[in-house]
């Protein structure tokens, strides 16, 4: 048991170090770079997932927080509305681990990624809220959105961590078959 606890503690330290590195990388991005990359991500999403993103599907998408440096989802949300696809928007500026988990089942969930690897592991902000939420979604397609600069060689993962189905950046779409862009 002590060995398991030590492994978990080392993983937590590893994740915290990666989070710190990712935040430092993101701080170096200008507002223009963030908006340009966010727009490229939006275009890739609607090119690659065009047939999937249609009216009458249930979509869960986060609303970008002004206090965090992250992919701006406002363009994705706007395009969904223009296509008469009504997503379920969620404002996630301060998601706490004990925040309520939606009970509705979704077809597609867009997930913010502070960092990620090519194995479709994501690093979040550390509260575990998305892993809990994604764990309740049986048949959903999980699409992470991230900046290419936050790709890591390896994200430490634990049994409760949920892999994504896709990760879209401004220059690649990562899938279980490798990147496709």
List the pLDDT tens digit at each of the 181 positions of the chain: 333 323 333 345 577 888 888 888 888 999 999 999 999 999 999 999 988 888 888 999 988 876 678 899 999 999 998 888 876 767 564 566 677 888 889 999 999 999 999 999 998 876 678 888 999 998 999 999 999 999 998 888 878 889 999 999 999 999 987 766 5
Query: Mapping DSSP to helix (H, G, I), strand (E, B) and coil, where does residue 84 land?
Result: coil
On whether the CB atoms of residues 48 and 167 are closer than 8 A, the answer is no
Domain ranges of the chain: 2-179
2-179: what fold?
Rossmann fold (3.40.50)
Best CA proximity match to 176, nearest among 44, 167, 162, 146: 167
- For residue 8, the model assigns a pLDDT of 34
- For residue 71, the model assigns a pLDDT of 93
Query: Mapping DSSP to helix (H, G, I), strand (E, B) and coil, where does residue 56 land?
Result: coil
pTM score, whole prediction: 0.85
**Which two three-digit tokens encode residue 79?**
């395009």
Helix/strand number for the chain, H first, E second: 4, 9
| Residue 39 CA neighbour count, 13 Å, CB half | 6
Best CA proximity match to 104, nearest among 140, 53, 129, 76: 140
Size of the chain, expressed as the number of residues it contains: 181
């Amino acid at each position: 048991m002590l060995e398991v606890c030590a492994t978990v503690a080392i993983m937590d330290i590893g994740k915290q170090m990666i989070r710190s590195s990712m935040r430092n990388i993101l701080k170096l991005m200008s507002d223009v770079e963030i908006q340009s990359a966010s727009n490229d991500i939006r275009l890739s999403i609607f090119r690659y997932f065009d047939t999937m993103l249609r009216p009458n599907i249930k979509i869960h998408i986060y609303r970008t927080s002004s206090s965090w440096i992250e992919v701006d989802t406002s363009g994705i949300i706007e395009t969904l509305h223009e296509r008469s696809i009504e997503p379920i928007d969620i404002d996630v500026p301060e998601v706490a681990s004990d925040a309520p988990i939606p009970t509705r089942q979704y077809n597609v969930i867009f997930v913010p990624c502070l960092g990620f690897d090519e194995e479709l592991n994501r690093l979040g902000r550390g509260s575990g809220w998305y892993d809990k939420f994604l764990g309740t979604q049986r048949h959903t397609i999980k699409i992470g959105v991230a900046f290419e600069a936050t790709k890591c060689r390896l994200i430490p993962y634990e049994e409760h961590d949920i892999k994504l189905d896709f990760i879209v950046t401004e220059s690649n779409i990562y899938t279980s078959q490798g990147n496709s862009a």
